[in-house]
Structure 1
Amino acid sequence: MSLFWRIFALNAVVLGAATALLLWAPVTVSVPILLPEAAILLGGLAVMLIANAALLRIGLAPLERLSRLMSTVDLLRPGQRLPPPARGGIAEPVHAFNSMLDRLEAERALSNARALSARETERRRVSAELHDEVGQSLTAVLLGVKRVADQAPEPLRGELRLVQETVRDSLDEVRRLARRLRPGVLEDLGLVAALTSLATDVATHTGVKVARDLRAGLPPLGPEAELVVYRIAQEGLTNVARHAEATRVELALLSEGSGVVLRIDDDGHGLGDAPEGAGIRGMRERALLVGAALDIAPGPDGGTRVLLTVPTTREGDRP
């Protein structure tokens, strides 16, 4: 029975019972109405309203359960579907909602793929400009300062040496930013070498000790999947350095079943009750692009664990 007919039937039962009582009860209504008659009529109205409210509560309970289930669905965790009800007359709304989730997940995956592709293209452009234009300009300034410092008298030479060191530090920072924007080592040497370089860079510039367990001989991943793994590792280590107040983090890449697993464990203060920020949601969006599962939860020894499982059997990930 559909929800409409269930509610109609409940109201028909209440109104039918009230009509039957009026027809067969010995109660009559005088003009003007007497106090006992008014009390009986008001009491009957109250009973009818209470019965109607109780029956409607029973009839609409499946919709309330459906509403609670809908509020827990998150498009960044695909595959969540409402189970078809065994009873309650809401099979059609549940089916429509599940169909809507199918469409939304497909559209979101497509739009995320386009957005992230555009973002990576912009990263490569900015990285090239930093390396080719800003980097070359700073190199020219560095050489000019060195030439002037070599010819300057001693009191001025020391100050020029300080300027030279400042320019050299700026040049190193520009190169580091260019590498973060476009991991050339990932394209040239592979995922393990890129993660090794990333861990070394984070440890050098943040002071956080990074322990590595990067296995060789892993199942092959496509370029898109490797980039997703690298970006999620980059974001995870950046979050540890900025927010976790950790002293040690372990970065692991290993094979598990038919997939590749990236694991990041830190000894920081954990996530607590803070809502997921843009960084974590961006990690989830990247994981969706290659059908990977991303789990962020408290670590076994405190802190936070980031666990990314990337399947290796997807056609889109094959080179």
Structure 2
Amino acid sequence: MSRTPASALYWRILGINGLIFAAGTVALAMAPVTVSSFVLLRELPVLVVGLAVMMAANAVLLRASLAPLEGLTALVTRLDSLRSGDRLATGRSGDLFHLVDQFNAMLDRLEADRSTSTAAVLDAQEAERRRIAQELHDEIGQSLTVVLLELKSVVNRAPEEVAEELRGVQETVRSSLDEVRQVARRLRPGVLDDLGLTSALTALAADFSEAGGPRVTRRVQTGLERLGADAELVIYRIAQEGLTNVWRHSGARNAELSLTQDDGGRVVLRVVDDGSGPPTEVGAGIHGMRERAMLIGAQLTIGPADEDGTGTEVRLVVPPSGARRAAAP
């Protein structure tokens, strides 16, 4: 019959206690100490010291044996399925460390399965965005363009009092066409595919500034190494969601969008505002950002922009492409 971790722990504790009591018995038997049938007052200190020594030795040995359980409890308490890489230290001997190895292996499997399923969902989402954006551009956009051309022809032939009203309708249709194009561009940014991440982020910041939201300052480093289509799309979507949250929820007047790359190849995206501070609850938008960050092994943090707790900073740290390949499931 194979020995389970539970039975091994039982026999380990039993053995430790037996060893302590046996050592105490031998020490008392060989020591020049006697105990009367009725314990005398001068014998009490000897018994108390002996008991204290045995309890202290038992506590030290049990703490060393059960130490992995404390680490395991702490990990389970702080575990976040969207923050990968949090593991317990392994490599030591003992039955509980076998349990730690199995727990770490379970986390590896769960994260790999979650990454696979999340990637499939986000791929389907991007495909649906692409389809809707294409339909908006090809069908609704072209239909509104035809309406504008026909209105222009009617305005040229209409009496002046009617032509003035038609010009108002013409402006409304033109505004609707512009909004349709903006929605299509946000659903699937063609500039990201055509001109790259730097140009796409610059255009994104300009769109938010021109739409009447907070003034967005851009600080996008040029000459970035190619990050791959997946990483660039994740960076763009997180920047887009970050600016959307600034516009909708923060009440900020100013925001900054920055993208830099250090000498080690790490890319850092920051969206900072001077608004009311970080959100108190995690909504669907932040949850989606964390899922996207997990797909490329990036670290996403959301916290206050200043020491006094005002403003919000969204920070995404993307490891070099080699490290992302090594971390991919």
Distance (Å, rounded) in 2 between the aligned partners of 1:196 and 1:84: 46
How has the CA–CA distance of structure 1 residues 260 and 11 changed in structure 2, closer, same or farther, with 3 Å as cutoff?
Answer: closer
**Partner SS for 2:132:** helix
By how many angstroms is 1:125 displaced?
A: 0.5
Contact 2:71 2:88 in 1 (8 A): no
Could you say which residue in structure 1 is the equivalent of 2:178?
172
Could you say which residue in structure 2 is the equivalent of 1:18?
none
- Aligned residues: percent identity? 55
By how many angstroms is 1:87 displaced?
A: 10
Report the RMSD for the aligned CA atoms in angstroms. 2.9
Unaligned runs of 5+ in 2: 1-6, 19-58
**The one of 215, 236, 250 aligned to 1:230:** 236
Distance (Å, rounded) in 2 between the aligned partners of 1:86 and 1:225: 37
Contact 1:3 1:88 in 2 (8 A): no
By how many angstroms is 1:214 displaced?
A: 1.1
**The one of 54, 68, 72 aligned to 1:66:** 72
Letter of the aligned partner of 1:309 in structure 2?
V
Distance (Å, rounded) in 1 between the aligned partners of 2:164 and 2:17: 94
By how many angstroms is 1:314 displaced?
A: 2.7
Letter of the aligned partner of 1:311 in structure 2?
P
Contact 1:220 1:312 in 2 (8 A): no
How has the CA–CA distance of structure 1 residues 61 and 291 changed in structure 2, closer, same or farther, with 3 Å as cutoff?
Answer: closer
Matched, 1:292 2:277: no
Deviations 1:250-276 (A, max 9, x none): 11111112222111111111115x122
How has the CA–CA distance of structure 1 residues 94 and 275 changed in structure 2, closer, same or farther, with 3 Å as cutoff?
Answer: farther
Letter of the aligned partner of 1:238 in structure 2?
T
Deviations 1:145-164 (A, max 9, x none): 22222222222222211111
Matched, 1:150 2:156: yes
Could you say which residue in structure 1 is the equivalent of 2:34?
none
Deviations 1:30-70 (A, max 9, x none): xxxxxxxxxxxxxxxxxxxxxxxxx9xx9999757633431
Contact 1:260 1:311 in 2 (8 A): yes
Alignment of 1:221-300 (within 5 A): 221-256=227-262, 257-272=264-279, 274-300=280-306
Letter of the aligned partner of 2:322 in structure 1?
R
Could you say which residue in structure 2 is the equivalent of 1:314?
322
Distance (Å, rounded) in 2 between the aligned partners of 1:203 and 1:128: 25
Contact 1:219 1:259 in 2 (8 A): no
Unaligned runs of 5+ in 1: 13-54
Distance (Å, rounded) in 2 between the aligned partners of 1:168 and 1:222: 37
**The one of 206, 211, 231 aligned to 1:200:** 206
TM-score, L = length of structure 1: 0.77
Deviations 1:173-195 (A, max 9, x none): 00000101111111111111111
**Partner SS for 2:151:** helix
By how many angstroms is 1:4 displaced?
A: 3.2
Distance (Å, rounded) in 2 between the aligned partners of 1:9 and 1:156: 101
Deviations 1:66-111 (A, max 9, x none): 3343121112110111345989963343322211100011111111
**Partner SS for 2:321:** coil
By how many angstroms is 1:294 displaced?
A: 1.6
Deviates more, 1:232-241 or 1:250-259: 250-259
Alignment of 1:128-143 (within 5 A): 128-143=134-149
